[in-house]
Amino acid sequence: MKFLDLAKVYIRSGGGGAGCVSFRREKFIEYGGPDGGDGGKGGDVWAEAVGGLNTLIDFRFQQHFFAKSGQHGMGSQRTGASGDDIVLTVPVGTEILEEDQETVIADLTEPGQRVLLARGGNGGFGNLHFKSSTNRSPRRANPGQEGIERTLWLRLKLIADAGLLGLPNAGKSTFLSAVSNARPKIADYPFTTLHPNLGVVGIDQHEFVMADIPGLIEGASEGRGLGDQFLGHVERSRVLLHLIDGTGEDVAGDARTILNELAAYSPALAEKPRVTALNKIDAIDPEELAEKRAALEAEIGGPVLLMSGVSRQGVPEVLRALWAQIAPSRGPVEDKDDSPWQP
């Protein structure tokens, strides 16, 4: 299944049915009076977040969603049937925006959340509604209200506990495949992931979700490369894991590049809790490793963990550091028992 995180949709709620002008006509009933029924209500357009989806690919093949209109009223005081609603099922974490792509209408972050996007028009009154003591035989009825037509954007921001950041070829996909069942593309030549990947990571009988996004390059905030279009997928993360290629010539400069792009995209994202790890340490001699670690710690002003996604050296320590940031937001209810697992 292809990944799609932005889609444009056109919606329209159903129009209300028109009221009916009718009079009762039966044998031996001289003054039957008005009996026109009201029109039915038009269908609404809803959006609902459902589990099991992680892409908006379905909206590439269908962009128009029109709810049914209500039926017209009929004689004998019969009200028209209401139009059927239509529901757009979207992945959890989907934002719904106006046509300007800036005004947020709703942010669906939990399964089962629903939001009304367009209300159906009310049905018109039949002539029975206008009967009064001074107007015994009204000959007018109201038309139904028209439906609402809107153009909206759906933007998916994956919900993950931890987000992976780094330059292309920093080893993010290798790390994700080493700690989870996710199978992103991995090769022995430089390339960058083209779409985000999710994996469920387990450490010390705890589990959390990790998201791997395409690598950033200098100038991404200005649209270079894939730009910062995928940074929205780590906005909801509780902690960021910043991987740095230990085989690079300037590890401090590589770290500075990512931090600058985070700040240019969103100051809040730059201030998010972050764990920094120097990757591919199995390919570096100890003296060079110590120099690069010291330079990196001086650049970021904090500790740097050492790891290798291939040999898995230092990987458990990195996962424990991530869980230490995630656990407080989970609460005691979600924490699992530390006793051995039993069937």
Average of pLDDT values for 66-76?
94
Q: What is the pLDDT of residues 25-60, one digit of tens each?
A: 888 887 888 999 999 999 999 999 998 787 888 898
47, containing H or E segment: strand 45-50
187 falls within a domain: yes
> Is 282 annotated for ligand binding?
yes
Q: What is the pLDDT of residues 98-138, one digit of tens each?
A: 998 889 999 998 889 999 999 999 999 999 999 988 888 89
244 falls within a domain: yes
> Is 8 annotated for ligand binding?
no
Question: Percent of the chain beyond pLDDT 70?
Answer: 85
The candidate with the shortest Cα–Cα distance to 306, out of 294, 269, 298, is 294
Q: What is the pLDDT of residues 241-295, one digit of tens each?
A: 888 888 888 888 888 888 888 888 778 778 888 888 888 888 888 888 888 889 8
Q: Which domain holds residue 118?
A: 1-156
336 falls within a domain: no
Q: Are residues 187 and 142 in the same domain?
A: no
Q: Are residues 127 and 244 in the same domain?
A: no
Q: What is the CATH number of the domain that holds 258?
A: 3.40.50.300
171, containing H or E segment: none
> Is 308 annotated for ligand binding?
yes
> Is 167 annotated for ligand binding?
yes
Helix intervals (H) in the chain:
58-61, 172-179, 251-265, 267-270, 286-300, 315-330
> Is 168 annotated for ligand binding?
yes
Residue 152 pLDDT level (bands cut at 50, 70, 90): very high
Q: Is 94 helix (H, G, I), strand (E, B) or coil?
A: strand
> Is 194 annotated for ligand binding?
yes
303 falls within a domain: yes
Domain end among 120, 135, 156: 156
> Is 213 annotated for ligand binding?
yes
> Is 314 annotated for ligand binding?
no
> Is 340 annotated for ligand binding?
no
Q: Match 């005004």 to its residue by tokens.
A: 103
Question: Residue 313 has what DSSP assignment?
Answer: T
Residue 21 confidence (pLDDT) above 90:
yes
Query: Is 206 in contact with 323 (CB distance < 8 Å)?
Result: yes
Query: Is 125 in contact with 18 (CB distance < 8 Å)?
Result: no
Indicate the pTM of the whole model: 0.70
Residue 228 confidence (pLDDT) above 50:
yes
Q: Are residues 216 and 124 in the same domain?
A: no
Which pLDDT score is estimated for 128? 92
340 falls within a domain: no
Residue 210 confidence (pLDDT) above 50:
yes
